[in-house]
Amino acid sequence: MADDQPLRILHCFRSPIGGIFRHVRDLAEFHARLGHEVGILCDSSTGGTYEDRLFDEIRPYLSLGLHRLPIQRSVSPRDLRAFRESFREIRSLQPDVLHGHGAKGGAIARIIGSALRVNRYRVARLYSPHGGSLHYERATVAGQAVFRAERLLERFTDALVFVCDFERQTYARKIGIPRIRSERIYNGIHDGEFEAVHARPDAVDFLYIGMLRDLKGPDLFIDAFARAERKIGRPLSALMIGDGPDKDKYERMMLERGLGRRIGMLPALKARDAFAMTRAVVVPSRAESMPYVVLEALAARKPLIASRVGGIPEVLGKDNVSLAEPGDAESIAAIMAAAVTEDDWHRRVLPDKDVFKANFSATAMAGRMLALYRDLLPPAPDRHGAAHALHAT
């Protein structure tokens, strides 16, 4: 697309929590500031007070509105109602771009975008997996079914957008080499987040921040913390900040191991506020794509200990001494022990500030995404003429 007309962009995803929600909020804000009209369609049954506050912050940038309706995590007959309601909402908004994020958001954007095309309405259909379906294994029945569905949906997709090379390689290995256009566009964060966050005088040694579910490794964090204490022969301190379905399980785990007084727990809050409470951040995930908490911590100049999963080695460098073996509490513990006993450890693990910012800024991310949107669309007169024809039917 060669013109500079404002675009109507609608992001579709299921759960308004975590990295997908952050990614969409950033794209919405940056594109709205450039004069484009942006909207969000997502699930109404997930998220809490914290997410409501985030919606309030982004709402001024959503000229196409915030549209929430029940969208289930698993595939069920109730999906038919969700798709029917989504179709009515999306058709009324007349978007130029439908960008689906995650498996359910990707299905909604591509199926409904294709249905609109039947009515001669030209809309770009994009899909960003953000991990999602790619976490399944090929050896399982569920994995085989999901991957076949993903391959079928390629026929209704104009472009795949991967947030890291790992995600693109995993898609090719599990689903197949894309038969359509695909791009890698790294996640990025705001310029203001590249300012260092200094630890408070009462800061703890280690912080876990994120969803409280096994995939993200809170249990590994607790186990590694206890092992690190034994390695160095003295008590340590830690915080776990977040919400999730397995919170009670982790609280019991801490109490059973006698760690309740040395590991505190707080509900979800903004990452930079949490970073001031610690001297190092731990990301013990069993699986990831490109987690924002890694980018946020490094931009704040917080030393990071992370599992060698997903796109994390692309950010830190594959030989960084802060990378632990996935699912291995002993490996994480050894690095935690080094972090509190080796004087130069913090200096060795942080990437060059200028290089990091050049690769992972939200300005670069939003600009590359916008260029892709425009490249997928026909010239404005053709697109808008189709929109008017659809609106008249």
Q: Give me the domains of the chain, ranges plus CATH numbers.
A: 8-188+362-392 (3.40.50.2000), 192-356 (3.40.50.2000)
Looking at residue 76, what is its pLDDT? 65
CA-nearest of 51, 63, 69, 88 to 10 is: 63
Looking at residue 380, what is its pLDDT? 63
> pTM (2 decimals)?
0.84
CA-nearest of 24, 5, 12, 42 to 292 is: 24
Q: Say if CB 311 and CB 327 are below 8 A apart.
A: no
Looking at residue 384, what is its pLDDT? 52
Q: Where are the alpha helices (DSSP H) in 154-279?
A: 165-174, 218-232, 247-256, 271-275
Helix axes 78-93, 102-118, angle to 10 degrees: 60
CA distance linking residue 295 with residue 189, whole number of Å: 7
Q: Say whether 381 sits in a helix, a strand or coil.
A: helix
Q: In this structure, what is the dihedral angle of CA atoms 383, 384, 386, 392, given to the nearest 10 degrees?
A: 160
Supply the DSSP string of 107-148, one letter for each residue: HHHHHHHHHHHHTT---EEEEE-SSGGGGS-TTSHHHHHHHH
Looking at residue 289, what is its pLDDT? 84
Q: Say if CB 323 and CB 316 are below 8 A apart.
A: yes
Q: Say if CB 197 and CB 300 are below 8 A apart.
A: yes
pLDDT tens figures, 164-204 = 999 999 999 999 999 999 999 999 999 889 999 999 999 99
* Per-residue confidence in pLDDT tens, the chain, 393 aa: 446 799 999 999 998 988 899 999 999 999 999 999 999 999 998 888 888 999 999 999 999 999 998 887 766 667 788 888 889 989 999 999 999 999 999 999 999 999 998 877 889 999 999 888 888 888 899 999 999 999 999 999 999 999 999 999 999 999 999 999 999 999 999 988 999 999 999 999 999 999 899 999 999 999 999 999 999 999 999 999 998 889 999 999 999 999 989 999 999 888 999 999 999 999 999 988 888 999 999 999 999 999 999 999 999 999 999 999 999 999 999 999 999 999 989 989 999 999 999 999 999 999 999 999 999 998 765 555 555 444 444
CA distance linking residue 181 with residue 103, whole number of Å: 18
pLDDT tens figures, 12-21 = 999 898 889 9
CA distance linking residue 195 with residue 3, whole number of Å: 36
Instruction: Tokens 């690769």: give the residue.
Output: 359
Supply the DSSP string of 277-298, one letter for each residue: TBS-EEE--SS-SS-HHHHHHH
Looking at residue 18, what is its pLDDT? 81
Q: Say if CB 264 and CB 188 are below 8 A apart.
A: no
For residue 347, give the H/E element and its range: helix 345-349
Supply the DSSP string of 82-112, one letter for each residue: HHHHHHHHHHHH--SEEEEEHHHHHHHHHHH
